Chain A
Amino acid sequence: MTSRRRSEGLAALGFLSPWLIGFAIFTAAPMLISLYLSVTSYNELSAPRYVGGANYQHLIHDPKVAKALTNTLVFAVMYVPTAMAVSLGLAVVLSRVGRLAGFFRTVFYLPVMTPTVAAGALFLLLLNGQRGLVNRALLLIGVHGPNWTTDSAWIKPGLALTLLWGLGGTTVIYLAALQQVPPELYEAAALDGAGSWARFRRITLPMISGALFFTMIVLSIHALQMFDQAYTMFFGAQQNSTYANDAALFYVVYLFQQAFGVLRMGYASALAWLLFAIIVAITSIQVRLSNRFVYYEGGR
């Protein structure tokens, strides 16, 4: 190796060193520690005690885990496509109004700047079944809204609504992607007699597929790790847990409770690995899909 190459190599190392160190301390080591903890029983007030696969066994039979997993997955399925569809719809409308898009875009993005805890508190009130704003508004169009905050069947949709308030971020991404689509494509298609739905399906969707795919992954991971709003609205100090509704028990909430609420860190570590496996599985499926469906202009 020439000395120049060596100095280049060293320099590169220098620049990368923060991340390398961080990776070692905050990613690699913790993952190993977490793996170790998952086969122990550890409550932090005394030393870890090796228990082999007991945590994982318990995990399989724990009805709360099944419940938490179901809740989380159901919520993700409920939320992600809806968020994408509504965002896309808004973005399409925004793309058609020319310069005014900027103003509305700002309006839609504003809720994204609200801290999740504040949004949770706010929606806890807005979603109250008897006198919350949401149901009052629904009454205006003749719909009797459900008890969003107390009815098990409606807690997750209520939470989805709370999160949907923040879909401005996704909308902005879609809008930018839409604005990248060359209008000539549309014109050509129109000349060929394609209707607007066909144009949407054959041109728009493929052209923004990169953005769609990216947001799908981000939204999914976000949904599967849902914590802030659910914890704010339904858990916390003892009072909230008196009425804890199983329907709001999300996986990370349960994990958090086990780890820091009752100090069962071994068990919680096992829970964490299960979540990891699930997220990896789901993300790989999504990546596979992307390779099939996403169209990159100019190829990659």
Chain B
Amino acid sequence: MKRGGSNARQPKVIPPAVRLLRGGPLAGCGGVGNKSTSSSGSGNSGSLSTQGFGKPDDVGQARIDAFKAAYPNVSLHINEGDFDPQQFLSSVASGNPPDLVYLDRNLIGSYAAQGALQPLDEELDKVGLDMKSYRQPAADPCTVNGKVYGVPEFYNTRNILINGKALAETGLTSADVATTDWDKLHDTARKLYKASSRGIARIGFDPKLPEFLPLWAKANGAELVNDDGSPNLDDAKLVEALGYAHSLIAEQGGWSKFKAFRDTWDVFGSGNEMVKNQAGAFPWEGWYVNVLVQASPDLDLQCIHFTDRQGNPISFCDGSAWCIPKGAKNTETAARWMKTVTSTDTWLKAAAAREQTATKNNTMFTGLWTANPDADHQIKDKYVKPSNNPGFDQAVNNYYASTEYAFAIKPSKASSEIKTAWTDATNRVLSGTQTPAQALKQAQGEASTAFASAK
């Protein structure tokens, strides 16, 4: 499963002998020329290249295999490497784009407005793909000015994961970690926090800035983006939310120590921060539960919902999408790809692969959230079972619950610039160069300029 725009990557379960690149001799394989030789009508031949879908794991590989089985004559080139905006725009601008690009669907608004993506309505009609088969918060960011530019996949929601051992040590319960009462959360964070001679020994509560600012914003009743797509970054409630989340970090060692300590975590390994008691609690996306269960299946994990200040559970969702860059030629095969890899059948195969991995490692299936509700339900019914670790069971159930109420950031024709603006603002606050009010005021200025000049 791939990350959808937030930090930390998916675990790399490198399929053993799979060379994902243009395996084959050096001559003639690279660069210009290779992609436009495939203009068949049926979409069942020629070549298909992707960008941004680097390092597929078991789930990703299963879906690639499903496509290969359905269209064996298509020569597939999955370029490694995550989505790189500079690489993407360069390839579009130089007239040499890949056939498919895989990116965080929050970026679609901006790229579509810039003219870097092709509208997909026609192609999707041809292959019979209906956007209604995806959850609305996933499909919305993919539609700009009434035209569809991307096909969504993955639906990452957030809940709070808690290190049970840390709770036990400090005599707290998971209710103490709730985000409803901000003052109480301060106390809890302080109690769970542990300093060391060289810096920090355990972070109490990591608010996950800047990535999860939308969560804190919503908790305080602020919207980052208005309904018409314009930015709303200097909203006083957002300033307050940012200030609060930052204050949590400030009193747990301050940002530079906090981050440096976090950089030492073995996030994906068997010595992860939960096992090593280096973290008390943090919000995280659902796929991390899978990481934890693979790396440390005996972990004392607890999970509660993220709540707003009135106590209602909230979660924001994001994920990826497949798009066709401007200038890409093999659009029909690309559309077939998009339909195949996000279909319920394919997802079931992917879930089976994930289940296989779990069985092989003696762990459990921890859920798969696909943005395709039909697939989600079938997978849940078939593969999610109680295990011998109630903590993980609770976590999995919570993530399935949050899938139903999660919200997405509203789409905008300046979506990427808005995200950059509030991310940068948060970073400025974290590094101490500006106050939340100043930083967000600057962010609002930058975002508004971008919004105004976007077509």
**A/B: CB atoms within 8 Å of each other:** yes
Complex contact B260–A129 (CB within 8 A): yes
- Chain B: residues with Cβ within 8 Å of the partner, total of 42
A152-B433, A239-B7 are contacts. A45–B114 as well, Cβ < 8 Å?
A: yes
A129-B257, A245-B427 are contacts. A260–B198 as well, Cβ < 8 Å?
A: no
Interface residues of B (CB under 8 A from A): 5, 7, 9, 81-87, 89-90, 92-93, 104, 114-116, 198-200, 210-211, 255-257, 259-261, 263-264, 326, 417, 420, 423-424, 427-428, 431-433, 442
Minimum distance in angstroms from A39 CB to a CB of chain B: 16
Complex contact B264–A128 (CB within 8 A): yes
The docked-state distance in angstroms from the alpha carbon of A63 to that of B449 is 13
The docked-state distance in angstroms from the alpha carbon of A151 to that of B81 is 28
Complex contact B89–A130 (CB within 8 A): no
The docked-state distance in angstroms from the alpha carbon of A238 to that of B83 is 7
CB closest chain-B residue, reference A131: B264
Complex contact A128–B260 (CB within 8 A): yes
For the complex, is A204 an interface residue (Cβ under 8 Å from B)?
no
The docked-state distance in angstroms from the alpha carbon of A128 to that of B82 is 24
Q: List 25 A-B contacts (CB under 8 A).
A: A46-B115, A129-B199, A130-B198, A130-B260, A130-B264, A147-B256, A147-B260, A150-B259, A150-B260, A150-B263, A154-B256, A237-B84, A238-B5, A238-B82, A238-B83, A238-B85, A241-B423, A242-B7, A242-B210, A245-B427, A246-B427, A260-B90, A261-B85, A261-B89, A262-B89
The docked-state distance in angstroms from the alpha carbon of A150 to that of B256 is 5
Minimum distance in angstroms from A82 CB to a CB of chain B: 23
The docked-state distance in angstroms from the alpha carbon of A160 to that of B260 is 19
Residues of A within 8 A of B420 (CB): 241
Residues of B within 8 A of A149 (CB): 260, 263
For the complex, is A164 an interface residue (Cβ under 8 Å from B)?
no
CB closest chain-A residue, reference B104: A238
User: What bracket does the count of chain A residues touching chain B fall in?
Assistant: 20 to 34
CB closest chain-A residue, reference B82: A237
For the complex, is A232 an interface residue (Cβ under 8 Å from B)?
no
Given contacts A130-B198, A146-B256, A260-B86, 18 further A-B contacts (CB under 8 A): A45-B92, A45-B93, A45-B115, A129-B256, A129-B257, A130-B200, A130-B264, A147-B256, A149-B260, A149-B263, A151-B260, A236-B84, A237-B83, A237-B87, A238-B84, A245-B431, A246-B428, A257-B86
For the complex, is A44 an interface residue (Cβ under 8 Å from B)?
yes
Complex contact A147–B259 (CB within 8 A): yes
Residues of B within 8 A of A46 (CB): 115
The docked-state distance in angstroms from the alpha carbon of A260 to that of B88 is 10
CB closest chain-A residue, reference B92: A45
The docked-state distance in angstroms from the alpha carbon of A243 to that of B8 is 12
Report the 10 A-B pairs with minimum CB-CB distance, sorted nearest first. A151-B256, A129-B260, A147-B256, A150-B259, A147-B260, A152-B431, A44-B93, A237-B84, A150-B256, A261-B86
Contact with B along A234-254 (1 / 0, CB 8 A): 001111011111110000000
The contact of A63 among B211, B260, B427, B442, by CB within 8 Å, is B442
For the complex, is A203 an interface residue (Cβ under 8 Å from B)?
no
Complex contact A263–B427 (CB within 8 A): no
Which residues of chain A from 27 to 57 have any CB-CB distance to chain B below 8 Å in the complex? 43-46
Complex contact A243–B259 (CB within 8 A): yes
The contact of A260 among B89, B200, B264, B428, by CB within 8 Å, is B89
Minimum distance in angstroms from A233 CB to a CB of chain B: 12
Residues of B within 8 A of A43 (CB): 114-115
Complex contact A242–B211 (CB within 8 A): yes
CB closest chain-A residue, reference B93: A44
Complex contact A45–B82 (CB within 8 A): no
Complex contact B84–A128 (CB within 8 A): no
Complex contact A263–B93 (CB within 8 A): yes
Residues of B within 8 A of A131 (CB): 264
Minimum distance in angstroms from B25 CB to a CB of chain A: 26
Residues of B within 8 A of A146 (CB): 256
The docked-state distance in angstroms from the alpha carbon of A203 to that of B89 is 56
Complex contact A246–B260 (CB within 8 A): no
Contact with B along A122-158 (1 / 0, CB 8 A): 0000001111000000000000001101111010000
CB closest chain-A residue, reference B54: A237
Complex contact B199–A130 (CB within 8 A): yes
Minimum distance in angstroms from B319 CB to a CB of chain A: 14
The docked-state distance in angstroms from the alpha carbon of A128 to that of B85 is 27
The docked-state distance in angstroms from the alpha carbon of A128 to that of B261 is 9
Residues of B within 8 A of A238 (CB): 5, 82-85, 104
Residues of A within 8 A of B116 (CB): 45
A238-B84, A238-B104, A261-B86 are contacts. A246–B431 as well, Cβ < 8 Å?
A: yes
Minimum distance in angstroms from A243 CB to a CB of chain B: 7
Minimum distance in angstroms from A125 CB to a CB of chain B: 10
Residues of A within 8 A of B256 (CB): 129, 146-147, 150-152, 154
Complex contact A128–B86 (CB within 8 A): no
Residues of A within 8 A of B264 (CB): 128, 130-131
CB closest chain-A residue, reference B8: A239
Minimum distance in angstroms from B419 CB to a CB of chain A: 10
CB closest chain-A residue, reference B431: A152
CB closest chain-A residue, reference B197: A144
The docked-state distance in angstroms from the alpha carbon of A154 to that of B260 is 12
Minimum distance in angstroms from A148 CB to a CB of chain B: 9
CB closest chain-B residue, reference A154: B256
Residues of A within 8 A of B199 (CB): 129-130
A147-B256, A150-B263, A238-B83 are contacts. A246–B210 as well, Cβ < 8 Å?
A: no
Complex contact B260–A152 (CB within 8 A): no
Residues of B within 8 A of A244 (CB): 423-424, 427
CB closest chain-A residue, reference B453: A41
The docked-state distance in angstroms from the alpha carbon of A260 to that of B9 is 25
Residues of A within 8 A of B82 (CB): 237-239
The docked-state distance in angstroms from the alpha carbon of A242 to that of B263 is 14
Most chain A beta-carbon contacts within 10 A, residue among B114, B211, B263, B264: B263
Residues of A within 8 A of B423 (CB): 241-242, 244
Minimum distance in angstroms from B403 CB to a CB of chain A: 24
Minimum distance in angstroms from A230 CB to a CB of chain B: 15
A128-B263, A131-B264 are contacts. A147–B83 as well, Cβ < 8 Å?
A: no
